[in-house]
């Protein structure tokens, strides 16, 4: 025993010596850690850490049947809704629809999701929990296409509060139908609505309402469209009845759009007006210039047809007359009437020339007796031609000289008379080239078109 005791004491001293040397070495090398305050070691409890033993879930999802709505069998559960419009992407006149991107949020209370917590005011989850609990089955009435954004993950947020209140938010893009009236197009205003409704639950099971009234709808101030001016957004709600299922609460997001007119002024109204004014140029062109006036009329008619076709190609095939149709077709009538005006002028000119030609042929017949100077004539005829009385007898040489002088004077007087007639006819022809119809058309056509524009813009503006 004394030997064994000595051995234990020796080993104990050896261990103390080794530990003291290690402690000195750490002090010299600076590796000795000084004691820190105890509050620095304090950490928050990780509630998501898996512990041994029976797990304690934060939400008792598996303890309840979430296929049933909250308070099943009792009064209707109120579900508040608010919407924030992110963008109004497009308005299609041809398809009569619009595309909108928005944040849709639901608010309700489900006591089955209540939890006790002293540190957490709420818990936020992603879309994976949505498949395990009850959520409102809201859908978009009259929607054509819709989807929830999924980049980089599903844009769904679920926030649960300790008392069981739930906030359910989604980012959605929806394309919905909009019944448009184009009777005043393009001077029109359109009102479209996005309608929300529960698909399965009637008003006896689910009461859908705007959470903050008109303040439930918020829009981005930067929202703008190329062809429309957004005048206002507002909300309404009413009951919708289905004969086979009953009454449902329906919420409406209404917005009014005013179309910009400047684009259509440049692309439609100004070209049509210029074509009408160009057709009036033919009234100042000589009525005998048939190729010039006919080609001008045909060009303006074909151009108006092209404008009408281009406008209708971008519009739905509605069964009523639009405001732009009235303007374009009246302009087309003005252009077409200018072509008919020249047809009337040309026809009346041809008839008038035929009458003048017949009258001229009658006037060219001799008013006095003509005489054939073929060398054989009587003595009395020679005296009368020379300017002497028939009973005056002249010699042969005197008669020939007098006849030559008289014929020369007669030819000079006839030539001067013909020159005067030609000058008068040329002046009359220049004056008559402007037909009376052209003169009246220069005033009637512009005055009528100006009067039409005054009525048109006063009615549709």
Q: What pLDDT score was predicted for residue 23?
A: 65
Residue ranges with strand state E in 142-245 = 143-148, 156-160, 165-177, 189-198, 206-210, 217-219, 228-242
Give the 3-state secondary structure of residue 53: coil
Higher-pLDDT residue of 314 and 452 is: 452
Dump pLDDT digits (tens) for 279-293.
999 999 888 888 889
Structure tokens at 284: 């100042």
Structure tokens at 402: 């007098």
- Distance (Å, whole) CA 296 – CA 291: 8
Nearest residue to 193 (alpha-carbon basis) of 173, 176, 210? 176
Give the predicted TM-score (pTM) of the model: 0.67
Higher-pLDDT residue of 397 and 364 is: 364
What's the whole-number mean pLDDT along residues 335-360? 87
Q: What pLDDT score was predicted for residue 377?
A: 47
Statement: residue 233 has pLDDT above 50: yes
| Mean pLDDT, rounded, of the chain | 80
pLDDT band at 318 (very low <50, low <70, confident <90, very high): confident
Among residues of the chain, what percentage have pLDDT more than 90?
45
β pairing state of 165-177 and 206-210: unpaired
Q: What DSSP line would sit under 404-416, residue for residue? A: HHHHHHHHHHHHH
Q: What angle do CA 356, 357, 363 make, to 5 degrees?
A: 85
């Amino acid at each position: 025993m004394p030997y064994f005791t000595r051995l234990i004491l020796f080993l104990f001293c050896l261990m103390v010596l080794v530990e003291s040397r290690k402690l000195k070495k750490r002090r010299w090398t600076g590796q000795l850690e000084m004691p820190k305050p105890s509050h620095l070691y304090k950490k928050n409890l990780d509630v998501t850490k898996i512990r041994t033993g029976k797990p304690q879930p934060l939400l008792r999802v598996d303890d309840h049947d979430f296929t049933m709505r909250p308070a099943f069998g009792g009064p209707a559960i109120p579900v508040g809704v608010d919407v924030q419009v992110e963008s109004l992407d497009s308005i299609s006149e041809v398809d009569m629809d619009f595309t909108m991107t928005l944040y849709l949020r639901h608010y309700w209370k489900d006591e089955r999701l209540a939890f006790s917590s002293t540190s957490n005011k709420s818990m936020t989850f992603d879309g994976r929990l949505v498949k395990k609990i009850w959520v409102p089955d809201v859908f978009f009435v009259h929607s054509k296409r819709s989807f929830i954004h999924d980049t980089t993950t599903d844009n769904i947020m679920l926030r649960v509060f300790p008392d069981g209140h739930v906030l359910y938010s989604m980012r959605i893009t929806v394309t919905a139908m909009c019944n448009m009236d184009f009777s005043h197009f393009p001077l029109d205003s359109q009102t479209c609505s996005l309608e929300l409704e529960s698909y399965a639950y009637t008003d006896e099971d689910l009461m859908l309402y705007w959470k903050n009234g008109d303040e439930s709808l918020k829009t981005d101030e930067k929202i703008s469209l190329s062809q429309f001016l957004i005048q206002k957004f507002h909300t309404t709600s009413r009951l919708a009845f289905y004969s086979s299922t009953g009454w449902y609460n329906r919420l409406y997001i209404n917005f009014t759009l005013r179309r910009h007119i400047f684009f259509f002024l440049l692309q439609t109204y100004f070209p049509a007006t210029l074509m009408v004014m160009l057709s009036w140029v033919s009234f100042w062109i000589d009525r005998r210039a048939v190729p010039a006036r006919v080609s001008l009329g045909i060009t303006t008619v074909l151009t108006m047809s092209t404008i009408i076709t281009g406008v209708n190609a971008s519009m739905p095939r509605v069964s009523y007359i639009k405001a732009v149709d009235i303007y374009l077709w009246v302009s087309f009538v003005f252009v077409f009437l200018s072509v008919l005006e020249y047809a009337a002028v040309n026809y009346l000119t041809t008839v008038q020339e035929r009458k003048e030609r017949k009258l001229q042929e009658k006037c060219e017949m001799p008013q006095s007796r003509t005489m054939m100077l073929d060398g054989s004539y009587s003595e009395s005829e020679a005296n009368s031609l020379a300017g002497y009385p028939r009973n005056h007898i002249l010699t042969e040489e005197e008669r020939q000289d007098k006849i030559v002088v008289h014929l020369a004077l007669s030819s000079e007087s006839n030539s001067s008379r013909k020159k005067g007639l030609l000058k008068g006819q040329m002046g009359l022809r220049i004056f008559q080239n402007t037909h009376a119809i052209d003169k009246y058309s220069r005033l009637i056509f512009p005055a009528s078109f100006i009067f039409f524009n005054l009525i048109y813009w006063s009615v549709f503006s």
